[in-house]
């Protein structure tokens, strides 16, 4: 990951997504390349064309928040994209710290006790997807990830490197794109995290699907959403998830998975829960 190159490509790809019509500008005929021209972005952001070109070359050093806000408005960035732009600007600062605090890789006993008392599938992971701990239902729900030959257990490693992933994730394409966008956000926030860099390097080397998505420079927050799973034991599941940060443990988050009350997915989760608590050798079918 190169800060200047990341800035340049992020701004270029965002500019390519905005049509003149979306920006409220007149459009004269077909354009050679999609999106806005540099001079149009500069005008919308209230800066000179030369200054914008400097920014798009990857030089955000010393840029004020006011300029960044103008740029975010001109490019119609959403909340995740705006945060990413500010993260990139901080990383480009000559006084920015070149090391980040390492993400914790162990779960405290009190957190594990909390997990075990939650009446929902619950998993603790790092912000870049290493699965560190779970309650019994969470481990059973994501057994294909925990038991994958691609170790250590990691959501992106499983998704892009384990051939079982498309069977487990019926909406694999959407999920894969969201995972990469989340990793992009984390890379902007923690550009000097060695573990994160190693993961991105591994995935870039081994997966064409990952490389294509990484080059798109899309970003997103991983906070809430829905997932469809095809579980090897209980079949189809449609789940909602919420992700909470563990404030006492930098870089760790708690994900909770639930199904709509009374739904077939809830019945399947209940069956999976009974399967996890059944005595050894007892058939719950």
**Confidence label for 97 from pLDDT (cuts 50, 70 and 90):** low
Q: How far apart are the first and last CA of the chain?
A: 50
85 and 143 co-located in one domain: no
What residues does 255 pair with on adjacent strands? 123, 243
In-domain check, residue 283: no
Tokens of 11: 């701004």
Give pLDDT, residue 284. 36
Each residue's pLDDT tens digit, 5-14: 999 999 999 9
Considering the domain architecture, whether residues 133 and 263 belong to the same structural domain is answered as: yes
* Helical spans, DSSP H, in 38-127: 38-45, 49-56, 65-74, 79-92, 109-117
Task: Count each helix (H run) and each strand (E run) in the chain, helices first.
Answer: 14, 5
pLDDT of residue 285: 39
Q: What Rg, from alpha-carbon coordinates, does the chain have? A: 22
The CATH number of whichever domain residue 117 belongs to comes to 3.30.450.180
Q: Of 150, 155, 149, which is closest to residue 132 (Cα–Cα)?
A: 155
Q: What are the tokens at 215?
A: 């080059």
Q: Are residues 26 and 139 in the same domain?
A: no
Cα–Cα distance, 109 to 270 (Å, whole number): 26
Q: Determine, yes or no, domain membership for 98.
A: no
Query: What's the rounded Cα separation, in Å, for the pair 227 and 237?
Result: 8
**Is the residue at 24 inside a domain?**
yes
Asked whether residue 194 falls in the same domain as residue 273, the answer is: yes
Q: Find, among 106, 90, 107, 86, the residue nearest to 98 by Cα.
A: 90
Domain boundary among 92, 121, 146: 92
Region 242-252 average pLDDT: 91
Q: Are 197 and 184 in contact (CB under 8 A)?
A: no
Is the pLDDT at 264 greater than 50? The verdict is: yes
User: Are residues 114 and 62 located together in one domain of the fold?
Assistant: no
pLDDT-based confidence at residue 277 (cuts at 50, 70, 90): confident
Q: Answer whether residue 254 shows pLDDT above 70.
A: yes
- 3-class SS at 121? strand
Answer yes or no: is 42 within a domain. Answer: yes
Higher pLDDT pick, 164 / 281: 164
**Would you state the pLDDT for residue 282?**
40
CATH code: domain of residue 65: 1.10.260.40
Enumerate the H helices of 207-245 as residue ranges. 208-215
Q: Which of 65, 92, 119 is the last residue of a domain?
A: 92
Are both 143 and 249 inside the same structural domain? yes
CA–chain centroid gap for 249, Å, is 19
Do 115 and 86 share a structural domain? no
Distance CA 253, CA 268 (A): 25
pLDDT reported for residue 215 = 96
Range of the domain at 27: 3-92
How confident is the model over 200-220, as pLDDT tens digits? Answer: 999 999 999 999 999 999 999
Q: Are residues 75 and 154 in the same domain?
A: no
Residue at 99 is within a domain: no
Q: Among 37, 61, 92, identify where a domain stops.
A: 92
Clarify whether residues 260 and 171 are in a common domain. yes
Distance, CA of 184 to CA of 14 (rounded, Å): 14
Question: Residue 284 domain-assigned?
Answer: no
Q: Which two tokens stand for residue 76?
A: 């119609």
> For 117-157, what is each residue's pLDDT tens digit?
999 999 999 999 999 999 999 999 999 999 999 999 999 99
Does 256 map to a domain? Answer: yes
179 and 271 assigned to the same domain: yes
Considering the domain architecture, whether residues 84 and 205 belong to the same structural domain is answered as no
Domain count, the chain: 2
As a whole number, mean pLDDT of residues 48-74 equals 94
| Vertex 124: Cα angle to 139 and 132 (nearest 5) | 75
**159 & 25 share domain:** no
Structural domain contains residue 205: yes
């Amino acid at each position: 990951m190169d800060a200047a190159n990341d800035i340049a490509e992020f701004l270029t790809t965002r500019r390519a997504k905005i049509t003149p019509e979306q920006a409220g500008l007149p459009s004269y005929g077909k354009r050679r390349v999609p999106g806005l021209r540099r001079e149009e972005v500069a005008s919308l952001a209230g800066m000179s064309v030369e200054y914008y070109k400097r920014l798009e070359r990857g030089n955000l050093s010393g840029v004020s928040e006011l300029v960044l806000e103008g740029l975010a408005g001109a490019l119609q960035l959403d909340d995740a994209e705006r945060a990413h732009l500010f993260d990139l600007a901080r990383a480009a600062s000559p006084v920015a710290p070149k090391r980040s605090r390492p993400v914790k890789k162990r779960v405290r006993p009190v957190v594990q006790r909390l997990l075990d008392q939650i009446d929902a599938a619950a998993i603790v992971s790092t912000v870049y997807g290493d699965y560190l701990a779970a309650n019994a239902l969470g481990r059973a729900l994501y057994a294909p990830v925990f038991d994958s030959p691609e170790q250590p257990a990691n959501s992106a490693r499983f998704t892009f490197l384990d051939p079982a992933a498309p069977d487990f994730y019926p909406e694999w394409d959407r999920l894969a794109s969201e995972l990469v966008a989340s990793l992009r956000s984390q890379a902007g926030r923690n550009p000097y995290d060695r573990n994160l860099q190693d993961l991105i390097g591994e995935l870039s080397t081994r997966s064409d699907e990952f490389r294509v998505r990484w080059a798109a420079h899309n970003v997103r927050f991983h906070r809430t959403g829905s997932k469809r799973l095809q579980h090897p034991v209980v079949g189809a599941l449609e789940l909602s998830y919420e992700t909470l940060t563990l404030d006492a443990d930098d870089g760790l988050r708690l994900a909770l998975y639930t199904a709509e009350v009374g739904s077939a997915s809830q019945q399947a989760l209940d069956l999976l829960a009974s399967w996890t608590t059944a005595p050894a050798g007892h058939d719950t079918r």
